[in-house]
Structure 1
Amino acid sequence: MSFAARLAELGVTLPDAPAPAANYVPWVRTGDTLYVSGQISAGPDGMIKGKLGDDMDVDAAAAAARCCAISLLAQVKAACDGDIDRLERVVKLTGFVNSTPDFGDQPKVINGASDFLVEALGDAGRHARSAVSAASLPFGVAVEIEGIFQIR
C-alpha cells in the first residue's frame, strides 16, 4: 500500500507545509537525504502550548508530538514535489519537549510521533531518535521535532 493511501486510510490529510517563522528554509536536500527543520506542535486549532511537569500531561503532549510528525510529513511531501510516496524511510528524529527540570518522561512524549510514523509508514517509519528536555520552546509550544529522511 502506498504511503498516501495508508494516510488516507488513517484519516490523515497532510496540511500544506508550514512556512518557516524566521530566516531559514523548511528543508534541505542533499543527495537522497532530506533534513527537515523543527516543526512545532500545532493542529487545526492553532499552536499546542504547554509545559510538561507543570500544566500539560504526557498524553496531551504525545498528541502534540503526533501533530509535529504530521507537519514533518507535510514538509517531506513538499520537498518531493507533492508525492509523499517518494519517501524511502525516516532516518532520525530529534524531539524537544518543553518541560520542567524535574520532568523525565520526554521519551514517552516523543513516542506520539514515533508511534504515528510506524503506524502510517510501517517499517519505513522506524527510526533512530533523541528525546530531550527544553527549558522553553518558540511561542510556548509543548513540542518541537526535527527529522532526517531518505527520499528518492
Structure 2
Amino acid sequence: MTIEARLAELGVTLPDAPAPVANYVGFVLAGNLLHVSGQVSADANGPIKGKLGADFTVEQGAAAARACAISLLAQAKKACDGDLSRIKRLVKLGGFVNSTPDFTDQPKVINGASDFMVAVLGDAGRHARAAVSAPALPLGVAVEIDAIFELK
C-alpha cells in the first residue's frame, strides 16, 4: 500500500508544508538524507499551545505530537516534489515537549508521532528517537519534532 493510500485510510490529508517562522529552511536534502526542521504542534485552528503537566493530558500531548508528524510528512512531500514514494524510511525523530519540571511522560507524548509514522510508513516508519522536556518552546506550543528521512 502506498503512503498516500495509508494517509487516506487514516483520514489524513496533508496540509501545505508550513513556512519557516525564522531564519531557516523547512528542510535540507544532504545526499539521500532529508533533514526536516522542527515542526511545531498546530492544527486548523493554529498553534496548539500549552504545557504538559499543567494544561494538557498525555493523550492531548500525543495528539499534538501527531499534528507535528503530519507537518513533517508535509515538508517531506514538498522536498520530494510531491512524491512520497521516494521515502525509503524514517531514520530519526527528535521530540521536544513543553512540560512542567515534574512531568516525566515525554516518551508517551512523542509516541503520538511515532505511532502515526509507523501507521503511515509501516516497518519503514520504525525509527531512532529522542523525547526530551523543555521549559518553553517557540510560540508557546506544546510539542516540536524534527525528523531525518532516508530517500530512495
Provide the TM-score with structure 1 as the length reference.
0.98
| Equivalence for 1:24 | 24
Superposed, which structure 2 residues align to 1:135-150 within 5 Å? 135-150=135-150
Deviation at residue 107 of structure 1 after TM alignment: 0.2
Uncovered stretches (5+) of structure 1, i.e. residues with no partner: none
Deviations 1:54-82 (A, max 9, x none): 11111001000000000000000000001
Superposed, which structure 2 residues align to 1:14-93 within 5 Å? 14-93=14-93
Deviation at residue 112 of structure 1 after TM alignment: 0.2
Instruction: Look up the SS of the partner of 1:61 in the other structure.
Output: helix
% identical aligned pairs: 71
> How far, CA to CA, are the matches of 1:96 and 1:6 in structure 2?
26
Deviation at residue 40 of structure 1 after TM alignment: 0.0
Uncovered stretches (5+) of structure 2, i.e. residues with no partner: none
Deviation at residue 144 of structure 1 after TM alignment: 0.1
> How far, CA to CA, are the matches of 1:6 and 1:135 in structure 2?
35
> How far, CA to CA, are the matches of 1:72 and 1:57 in structure 2?
23
| Equivalence for 2:110 | 110
> How far, CA to CA, are the matches of 2:146 and 2:124 in structure 1?
17
> How far, CA to CA, are the matches of 2:55 and 2:80 in structure 1?
38
Deviations 1:79-127 (A, max 9, x none): 0001111111100000000001111000000000000110111001100
Instruction: Look up the SS of the partner of 1:34 in the other structure.
Output: strand
| Equivalence for 2:8 | 8
Matched, 1:132 2:132: yes
Deviation at residue 6 of structure 1 after TM alignment: 1.0
Deviation at residue 52 of structure 1 after TM alignment: 0.8
Deviations 1:120-143 (A, max 9, x none): 110011000000000000111000
